[in-house]
Amino acid sequence: MKAVVQDTYGSADVLEVRDIDPPVVGDEEVRLRVHAASAGIGDWHVMTGRPYLIRLFGFGLRRPRARVRGIDVAGTVEEVGGNVTRFRPGDEVFGTCDGSFAEYACARQDRITSRPANLSAEQAAAVPGSGVAALQALRDQGRLQAGQKVLVIGAGGGVGTFAVQLAKAFGAQVTGVCGTSKADLVRSLGADDVIDYTQDDFADGTRRYDLILDTAGNRPLSLLRRALTPEGTLVIVGAEGGGRWLQGSDRQLRAMLLSPFLRQKLRGLMSVQREKDLRYLAELIEAGELTPVVGRTYPLSGVPDAMRYLEEGHARGKVVITLRTL
């Protein structure tokens, strides 16, 4: 099968499309014929091995432990393991796995769910990582309540486009922060207000929010706190910038250390893939309350270009790798 293989850490130039053996299905797994996979900034971090801290958490110290990149996936079940009871060959599913930038990939049965009938494979592949992160940030960490005022920073990106829609579905009043080119998109997702960060400062003291989701950049905690209500909640979803060892993740650590001494609640997010959350998102999609935003698509051979685009830091919605033509 063809797959995007990486033998060493580095820039997008280390990625190569090669012919390798298909993965062998485990007892708790299904083997998928991959139709689409999405690429996110997390894939870029694993590709580069930065921040260096991630190498200590199972990704490999000197070279990547897993040679095939890609996590989010949508495809057709072709083979099931001996202990799999929820799926059978022919089922259309989406979720997460190891090595989705390939013609075939194996996924655990508790990390996939049935693909909604009103979604293409490309749209479904855009959902798992970013959709679950947005859901857990709002519901679990932010404990969002109907009627609250929510600020989504990075509202036109992968997590942000889901967060705006989910916050509206939960009954919140939503303001999105984005660049000029994404303002119309964010409005179309249901945002009540849009702040163009190139023109206005959301932390100028004139507006306060019950919940802030920071999905982009590396803004100082002091600035973010100025835009919070006295007992508001800040949830930091990832971080960019900073040094090679921590690359902004120290901001989450500082937020959690500072939070016990404040009335405001400062939290970081380490999202966990759960099948029940995928099902919940699928139900919202089927009900027409949530629609994935696919900004760009690339063929399997275009994965290096997709990674370069993500590195620029201004991706619109989700970046999807399509394998339908293989």
- pLDDT tens digits for range 254-288: 777 777 888 999 998 888 889 999 999 999 999 99
- For 125, the 3-state DSSP assignment is helix
Query: What average pLDDT is seen over the chain?
Result: 92
Query: Given a cut of 60, is residue 91 above it in pLDDT?
Result: yes
Average pLDDT over residues 104-116: 97
Q: What's residue 241's pLDDT? A: 59
Could you give the CA distance from residue 204 to residue 129 in angstroms, rounded to a whole number?
A: 32
Query: Given a cut of 90, is residue 63 above it in pLDDT?
Result: no
> In Å, how far from its chain's centre is CA 154?
12
Percent of the chain with pLDDT over 70: 94
Are 30 and 104 in contact, with CB atoms under 8 Å apart? no
138, HSE (Cβ side, Cα atoms, 13 Å): 32
Please classify residue 85 by burial: count the beta carbons closer than 10 Å to its beta carbon, then call 0-12 exposed, 13-18 middle and 19+ buried: exposed
- pLDDT tens digits for range 146-175: 999 999 999 999 999 999 999 999 999 999
Name which of 52-66, 291-305, 307-321 the model is least confident about: 52-66
Q: What's residue 240's pLDDT? A: 61
Query: Given a cut of 60, is residue 247 above it in pLDDT?
Result: no
Name which of 149-158, 177-186, 238-247 the model is least confident about: 238-247
Q: What's residue 147's pLDDT? A: 98
260: preceding bond cis by omega (within 30 degrees)? no
* Position with higher pLDDT, 50 vs 191: 191
Could you give the CA distance from residue 183 to residue 4 in angstroms, rounded to a whole number?
A: 34
pTM: 0.94
Query: Given a cut of 80, is residue 59 above it in pLDDT?
Result: no
User: Which residues have a Cβ under 8 Å from the Cβ of 287 and sit 6 or more positions away?
Assistant: none
Are 290 and 312 in contact, with CB atoms under 8 Å apart? no
Query: Given a cut of 60, is residue 245 above it in pLDDT?
Result: no
Please classify residue 275 by burial: count the beta carbons closer than 10 Å to its beta carbon, then call 0-12 exposed, 13-18 middle and 19+ buried: middle
Average pLDDT over residues 199-226: 90
Average pLDDT over residues 222-229: 93
Could you give the CA distance from residue 279 to residue 232 in angstroms, rounded to a whole number?
A: 29
Confidence label for 54 from pLDDT (cuts 50, 70 and 90): low
Query: Given a cut of 90, is residue 56 above it in pLDDT?
Result: no
